Structures are given as C-alpha cells and as structure tokens.
Structure 1
C-alpha cells in the first residue's frame, strides 16, 4: 500500500484496508498487532458520502474485513469495534442490523466476546429528527455499541490501567475505615476488608461517557486552512484512549482499519504505542495530518 505519511511511531496507509499485507506491517515493526480498534462506516439503510454499505451486503463486507485482519492480530490481542445504531427508513423503528453485524463477526470469525460496552455521547444532537424533534414519539438516540472481542477468552488486559478517581463517599470510607459490613439481601456477605483497601482508584464500568466536541480544534483549524473536508463521524479521544490503556502496553502496535481523521493514531502516538492506520479517502488522510501539527499565526508547524 502507499504510505500517506509517517510519524516516529506510526504509518498512515492510503488504500483499501484489505490490501494491507504483512510486509506493510513490517515497515513499522516485525511484531504483530496487539489491538485492532476501529469504527467502520455505520450500517445505514441509505448511503452516505463516507462510504457505508447497507443491509446484508454490509454484514458480509464487515465480516470479510475482520476475517482478513485476524492475520495481523496476536493470539492474546484484542479487536474493539464500534458499530453505530441504525433506523428503518421512514419508520420510527430501530434496525437490528448493527447487532446482527456484531454477532456475525463473533460467530463467523470464531471470536470470543470479552465484554460489551456502550459509548454514551453526552453531546449527541437529538435524532432521528423526524421522530424525536418533529413528531415527539421517540427520545434522543445517544449511545452506540462497542464490542471487545478476541481470539482467546483471556487476551491481555489490565483494568488497573484505567481506574477512575474514587467518589467522595469512597474517599471518606477509606479515611474513616468504617463500613456497614454484613449479609446483604442478595445473600452476599460483605466484610470490612472488602471495601476498605486502597487500590488507587475505582474500577470503571462498561458505560463510557464522552462528548465528541472540543478535542479536535487543531484538526478542524488545519482542515479549514487547507480547504479540506472534515470527517463527518469523528470520535472523542477518550474512547480509544480507554481501550489502548487497558489492553496494550507501551511499544505495542495499534491498528485502525478505518482511520478517517486518525483519532486512534494520534492517541496511540501520545501514549507511546506504535500505530498503523488505513483509509481509502485521501482527503480525510490529508486532513488527519492536522492532528500532528500546530497552527501558529497562520503557519503549519510540525510536531
């Protein structure tokens, strides 16, 4: 594949993601990929300009892409894939196509579902507009599914890398060292030592909250300066950052087959991971270079 640009840690390839070869990967490292993190074009019932397919064609295509990419993934590596929601055309009815696609990937590629997540987009605009804003018969659709899959039930993972700050009540418990121990209605027996040990933070849940606003200002300014089209489905950094931290170590390779504006590559770069990205749309690739530059007084300054 053609190299669009490189950084010290990564390579952005221009072309169809199923044209990537082991030889291309070796242009970055002799190692295999530890994490495939991606958000493919959503399975919509009508086509949009960023290249989505629809119906059974979408399922077959996505399964084929994932199956092809398994050759690059380590045996203890992970695939994390976000598939957005879809609605039936002209109806206030959600499509099951996204879930069908995820199930097809799991079953046909012989993968294990380690855990399912949802990304709650706190800044999502109300939609679908016809049913939410106009007729007011549905509520805002503001989350998408993210599935963590792997070749083995026990891929490399460590939730201690993504601990959250303790709540104020937990901080008080740790300080006072007093807890209402005993048997709960669920018949679980809780002793004082269960919750009064300092672990450095709270274990996060599988509901990830992040707004897709704010972080990409430099990218947006770069695209504006060069008259480049913004990618229409950008992801906030918090989502890839969570999985990169939890499922990989410094020096590991992260691969995003549908790079778009290259949020994944930028976050991986900042976390001292190596990265490989592929993207078919050259304009999106050109715009993504703005994530690795600084705009000062109208000039482009490389990092």
Structure 2
C-alpha cells in the first residue's frame, strides 16, 4: 500500500484531538489499530540519502505530518516531555481558522477542490480562468456568527478586498453573483443601511464590474422580522426576500443564458400556442406593448423565469449534512443557502464544463450545485471544521478523495 505524507495529516490530527496528549508510541499504536498505516510498516527500513543510512519511511512521514500540524498551530509538544504531543484545541467543536498564507486541500472530486484557506490567499494562487463566482458572504450584522463578523462600516472594503484576486482571474463574459441581506439597520432606528448601494458603486469603481441583474430571492419560510420595527413599532413590513446582485466584466457576449433555466409553460399558454396564438389586436401602455394576431404562436422550450426567485430556505441536502455534523460532534454553520437556488444560479450563469468558484464556501452548496450540473469548481473556506462537515455532501461524487495537502 502506498502512502503519501499528506494521507496521514487528517488521521494524525484527529487522533490527537480525540486522545488529548499522546506519546509517539501511543500515536503509532492508534494509527495501526485504526488501519491508517499497514501492519508491519513501522518495522521496515530502507536506505536513504547518499550515505544509504537505513530509516523507516513511515516514521518519517508521521514526523512530517506532526511538524506540519505544529506549523499550522494545531499541535504542540508537551513541555518537558520527549516525544509527547497534544492538540491545541480542547474539542473538535472549536473553529480553526486557516493560518495566514496557508492553503490545504480538504477534499476533492473529479470536478473540484475544497480548499482550507483565506479566499485572498487561495485566489492569488489560482491561474486558471474563472467563468463564474457564486457566493453568500458573511452579512454585516450586529451580532456576528461563530465564524466572525464584519461591521457595516467595514463591509464594502471587506468584500472588495476578498473579491479582488478572483476578479483578476475572470474570463471575459463571466459573472459574479452575491447573495446579501436586505436587513441591516442604522443602530437604534428602523432606517435601513445603504451598504448595498455603496457596495454596488464600489464593485463598479474599484473592481471594474458592471451590474447585470438584481434578483429577489423570496423565501416563504423566512421567519417574521425585524421584530422591533415590524411587530412591535409597526413601522416596517415583514422581511420576505434577500437580494442577489449579479455583476459582469463584459457587455456581451456573456456566459449567462436564460435558456438553460427555462420553466414549463402553463397549461393555458400551451393551449394558446396550439390554437395558433392570439387572435386579437391590442395596444397597451401608450403603445409600448402591442398584441397582434398570431402573437405567441411559436412553440418554445419553456418560459423565461422572472428575476423574482422563490425557493424555500430549508432543503433535504442541508438537513442531511446537519445530521452528519451533529453525529461527528462538529459545529453547525449558522448560515444556509438552498441547493435548488444554487443550482439555478450555476446553470443560469455558467456553461457545463466551466469553472465555478465560491470564496466563502461554508457548507459548499455552490460547489455541490456545480458538481451536480457538470461544472468544475473551487471552493475555499477559512474554518477547518466547516470543510469537515461539508465533505458529507460529496461522498458519492465521482473521484471523491479526502486529503489535507500543504500547498503554500
């Protein structure tokens, strides 16, 4: 059985986090018991270097993994003890941010890569043209989630800095879709923040992108709110949608194509086509809209969706991954993005075989949508435990491989 050094990275990390403090001898025994290393591997000796001194290759690989874990701040030697190490985390439920400039491979499939690292570091290293960006970045909310918070004042700079490396890699005609919140308020008032408007202008002036579309994602299952200003003070209507801003670096041609996301015609429209279209003549809106005999008679593959998109927040795919992380003792990601909406955007904004990326992957929903629709993908996530949880969604994908490979 052939092992690469990176194959041992995650099993060794997991062994220390499960066992606390371990001597090297205890670690070797655990790895052998868990079938991570083959029986007898620690007894093998081969000549190494010019002198041909005999060394055990498996021990060298284990020590390499230990040093890599220590460099990443995940492992430390126990002071005063020889050959005794311990995890720097008290439990696997803690969130472990990627160290600066470190990029590791969390898992991969035949179509994509899940990378542990800061998006600015990851996409500064990517040289391949990117055809589509679909992401739901952290919201500028007052009470930050477990993975951190960005203030409303800092938000525009935060998003522009994060997107800058990937925008430099965009192929001509590519699109960038950002799912944002619509409900950020000036402190102590029902007045909505203008961060979204400032962001649109900054993306244009600083990143050179133009606004192509603004879709409204309507979620019928969304909880009522904002409680203070809608239910108590009665100033506002209840929240019902989130904006999805779509930008592009070109005017035309674009990779976006509504023909890939056509909806079925209604029964009434199909009857209209079958009888040869309209039989009447009409003029509406001061002549802006006219109907002539024979209009709507040509059969088409379906109807073009409106930019009001209705998708429930909850989906089966997310329910499954939540059950998985609960069983594994991993933290749940506080933000969600339905797979059906991600698939719609992936198919609308990219062609099969193109590269789709997500700088803030979270549950890797955009990556899964790309995988299921035959697009290549790169997703990066700053918190290691979210990658551990998201991998459950890719177990059945072609070429699935778990690995933690030091890349920078």
The aligned counterpart of 1:52 is: 149
Does residue 257 (structure 1) correspond to residue 359 (structure 2)? The answer is: yes
Shift of 1:21: 4.2
Superposition TM-score, scaled by structure 2 size:
0.67
The aligned counterpart of 2:47 is: none
**Range 221-230 or range 50-59, more displaced:** 50-59
**What root-mean-square deviation, in Å, do the aligned CA atoms of Structure 1 and Structure 2 show?**
1.9
Distance 1:270 1:61 in 2: 30
The aligned counterpart of 1:121 is: 219
The aligned counterpart of 2:312 is: 211
**Range 39-48 or range 55-64, more displaced:** 39-48
Matches within 5 A, 1:58-73: 58-73=155-170
Report the count of equivalent residues: 290
**Range 170-179 or range 76-85, more displaced:** 170-179
Distance 1:39 1:115 in 2: 16
Does residue 200 (structure 1) correspond to residue 298 (structure 2)? The answer is: no
Q: The residue matched to 2:110 in structure 1 has which SS?
A: coil
**Range 45-54 or range 272-281, more displaced:** 45-54
CA contact (8 A) 1:45 1:54 kept: yes
Shift of 1:212: 1.2
Distance 2:372 2:321 in 1: 15
The aligned counterpart of 1:102 is: 200
Q: The residue matched to 1:194 in structure 2 has which SS?
A: coil
Does residue 173 (structure 1) correspond to residue 272 (structure 2)? The answer is: yes
Does residue 157 (structure 1) correspond to residue 256 (structure 2)? The answer is: yes
List alignment gaps of at least 5 residues for structure 2. 1-102, 397-401, 403-408
Distance 1:161 1:109 in 2: 28
The aligned counterpart of 1:34 is: 131
Q: The residue matched to 1:192 in structure 2 has which SS?
A: coil
Please tell me whether Structure 1 or Structure 2 has the larger radius of gyration of its CA atoms: 2
Distance 1:20 1:192 in 2: 57
Match of 2:175 among 78, 98, 110: 78
1:187-211, Cα deviation, whole Å (9 max, x unpaired):
1332234311111111111111111
Distance 1:185 1:21 in 2: 50
**Range 48-57 or range 229-238, more displaced:** 48-57
Distance 2:116 2:268 in 1: 50
CA contact (8 A) 1:45 1:87 kept: no
Shift of 1:47: 3.1
Shift of 1:117: 0.9
Distance 2:279 2:330 in 1: 59
Query: Are residues 59 and 22 of structure 1, via their aligned partners in 2, closer, same or farther at CA, if it must alter by over 3 Å?
Result: closer
Distance 1:64 1:234 in 2: 23
Distance 2:395 2:327 in 1: 12
